Chains A and B, each alone.
Chain A
C-alpha cells in the first residue's frame, strides 16, 4: 500500500509538471537567439487567413503580406493624402491614347526571397532569381482562375481587364489541380519582354494605378506553382509529385510565400507566432542603385519634419531585422504586454481609456512620463446603418430614413461606446479625402429630435399612401442585423434600440457573426444592417460605386439603391481623370445620396495608437501596407529602459 501512495504522488507530480513538456518553448526565448539582431515584438488580434496574395481579402492578411510581397505601385510612407509611388514599376506607366493599354517598365535586378523552389546550392543554401514581367502575368492569371477564391482581387478588375471572363471560363474546364491552365493565353495581360508588362483594358479605368497599389497583384514566380503546389515532401528529404486530385491551387504553406519584399516569413502558425525576418537580398540592384523602395523617403509633410520622421532620410531599409508577432486575441492582455514594455506598439482598450487619455485627447502626464508617445489618425473609412432599399417599409419612405438619421445621436454614440474615437460622418465620403470639403454635407447628418419627429409624421403619411400600413395602425417593428457577437456589439445594439424608440420605432436586433451577416446581406434578408467601407484607394469613386445599380448584381451595392439619374452621372464621372469638373460631378452625386438617405451615416473611425519612445519613424498608413521596413528601434535605449 505504501508503494501505491508513493507511485501516485509521483504520478501526480509528473502530471503537474507536464506543461513544460507539452507546451512550446518560451515565446520570448528567441531573445538570446537574436544576438546582434534588432528584434521588434508585437501582437496581433485577428487571425491571418491567407498567405496567398491572390486570395487575401482581410486587413490582417494584407498587413502581413504587405511586408512579404511587393506590387507594381505602393503608397508613399509619409505623404498625405496618400500618394501612389512606384515600387516594382520604374515609373508611371505609358498609357495609350485610347487609355486602354498600360505599359509598365519593371525595375531590373529585383531579387526574390531565397527559396528551395528556385533550387538548392551545393552548400545547402537556397537560390533565388530576379523578377520578370511574366511573373505579373501569372499573378493576374491566378486572380482570374476559376478555382481560386479571389473575390477581392477580382472585384477590382472584373469587367475592366480584357479577356478576363474568357480566361476564367477556360480555366474552369481544367481540373483544380491541373496547372497547365496557366499556360493558356489571357488577353488582358502580356509580357512583351523581360522587363515590360502590359495591361489591356476593355474600358477606360483611371483608378487602375490605385488598384495596382494593392498587394493582391504581387508577382508570382512560376516556380512556386511547380515546386510548392505540384510537389510535396516525400519524407526522405526529397520531393514527390502530388496526385492531381489532391493538389490545391492556393498557397497555404508559409514557406511558399515567396515575394520580393523586405521580409520573409520564417515562422507562421495560424493563431500563433508569426516571425518576419529580413530578406538579405533586399536592396538596390546594380542596375538601379537608386531604387526608391529600398531607401527611407526623403520628403514628407511639415509635421513629419518636426516630429523627426525625416531624420533617416535616404538610409537603406529595412532597419529592423526580425519582427516577432504573437497572437493575442483579447485587448487587455495585449495592453498588458505593451505596458510591460515587451511590445512596441499598441492600441488603447476601452477599459483603461480614461486613465491614459485626457479629455483633451492628449496623453496623460503619468503615461507620458513612462516614455510613451501617442499618435492620432483618422481612417479613410465610413460606418453606417444601411437600409435595404427594396424593403417594403424602409425602402418606400424617404422621410422615415431621414427621420432615423436625424434621431440618431451620433456624437453620443461615439462618446459612450467608443470613448470619442470617431468623427461624425457628414456624407458618404471620408473627410480625409482630398477635396472632401467641396462635397456637400448631408442636412440629415445631425442630431435634431424635433425635426426627426416631424419627419416621422410625414413618414406615416408616406407609408399609408403606399399602402404599407392602415391609418391608425402602429408602425411595424423593424429589424436590425449587426455583425459581431461580443459585448461591444451588444452595447451598440442596446444603444441603437434606445435611439430608435425615441421616435416611436420598435427595433428587433440580431447579432450575427461576420459570415452570417454577409450571407444575409447577399441574400437580401436584412432590413437594416450595420456596414462600413474602408477606402481601397483615395478616390471618392471607391465609395460612390456602392450606389451604382449595375453593382447590385456584382455584389458591391448591397443596399439595392437604384437611381437612374445617379447611374448616368456616375458613369460620366467614372471615366474622368481627377479635375475640378469631376469634383463637381461628385458633389452632385453626393447630394443625391444625401437626400435619398440610403444609409444612416455614423462615424469615421479615429485611431489612437501608443508607442514607446525607442520606436522611431512610426506613422500608421491609412491605406497602404508593408511599412514595417521604415520603423527603426533604438536598441540601446530599449536596453536601458527594459533590460532586454
Chain B
C-alpha cells in the first residue's frame, strides 16, 4: 500500500534524523533490546540488560534500576515495556514517553540470581558518576564484585574525577580487580593489582586472589600466594575474635532464657518445667502486638518491641501468679510432683496456644534498627545480636537492683533464706511467693520478646530453651544470679570455640559431658550458696 510505504519512508527518514541527534525513538537497536524484556526468557533478558546498559541512552539507568527493584513491567502481547515508579507514574521504556496506565496483561520482568548479578554490575557501571555519594560508593562496590573487563574505562574515568576518599579507594580496588582478571594486562599492572587487593585484607580479597587461576606470569602467582598467606593469617586472628563475639552472643541468649528460671528455680527452688512456655507466651505477645500495629498503626512498627516488652512482662507475670496460686503453692517441698505438674502444665499451655494461633510458625518482623549488620575490622556484627546482648545485660542489672534495693527484693531474699523467720517478722510469705514466681515468669516473658527476633515463634519455642536454661542455672550455682550470668557466658563461649573444631552436634555433646563432670566435682555449681539457705 502506497500510504503505508510512504509512512514507512517518512518514519525511516525521521528515525535517521533522530539517530543523527542521538535521540533514538523508533525501531532501533535500543528499542529492539528493550522489547526483549517482554519475552519472559532469562537469556533474552540477559542480552537486553547488556545492550541497554552499553547503549549510552539516557533511559538506560531508569530501565535497569527499575528492573532491579521489580518496577519494570512488560506486556507479553504487545511486547511493550514500561517503567513504573512508586508514585504511580509510568513511562514507555523504549521512548521515554509518559503513558497513562500500564495494561493489566503486563507483569514485572522476572530475574534469577545470574541476572541479578548482571543487573548489579550494569547499575554499578551506570552510576559510577552519580552526583550522590552513597550511590557512587555502592556502584564502586558492585563493580569491584563483578570486575567485568568492560567496566575498566568507566572506572578509570570515574577514578580521575572522584574526590571522596572512600569511594576513591573502592574504585582503586575495583580497578585492581579488573586488571587482575584481564588477560592482556601487563605483569606490572597485575603486580600492582595484587598489592592493592592485599591491602584490603578481607574475605573478598582472598576470594579474588584465590580465583586468579594458573595461567598468570610466575611473579604474579608468587605475589598472590604470599598475599593469600598473609591475609589468611590475619583472618585467623580475626576468627578468634569472631568466635568470642559469637560466644558472648550465644551466652546472652542463654542468660536471657535462664534468668527467669534463676528466680523460680534458683531462688524459690521450684522445678518449673513450664518456664519455656512463659518464654513462648512472651513471644506470642510480641506477635499480637505487631499484628495490632500492622493493621492499626503501621507507623509505630519500629517501636513494636518496646511496646511488647512491658506487655509480655505483664501477661507472663500474671499467668505466673495464677499458676503459683492455683497449683504450685500446694506442692512446695515436693519437687517430684512439682516437676510432673509443671510439665503437664507446659503441655496444656502448648496445646492451648496451638489451638488459638494454629500449629504453624507466626511471623514476627524485625524492626529496621534490628536488621542487618555492620563490619568491625574483619568480623560481621549483626544488630539483632548486639541489641539482645545489651538488652540481656540491662534486664540482669535491673533484676539485680530490684532484689537489692526494693522492699519486695528484701522480702524475697528473707523468705528464701529462712521462711519461718521471715513469717514471724510479719512478712506475708505466701504473697511474696506468688510475686516472686510472677517476677520469674514475667522475665521469661520478656526473654520471649527478644527470642522472637532470632527464633521460630511456634508453640514449640519454649521446649528448645528449657534444657539449656536448667543447664545454665545448675552450672552457675542454684540461687545465685551472678552464677547464672557467669554460667551462661562460659557455656556460650565454650560452645562457640568448640563448634568450629568439633561441629555443632559434637560440640553440644561435649558441653553436656563437661557439665556432668563438673557437677560431679562441684555439685552446687560454680558459685555455691553458703549459709542457712543450703540446709533449708
A and B interact: no
**What is B's interface to A at a CB cutoff of 8 Å?**
none
**What is A's interface to B at a CB cutoff of 8 Å?**
none
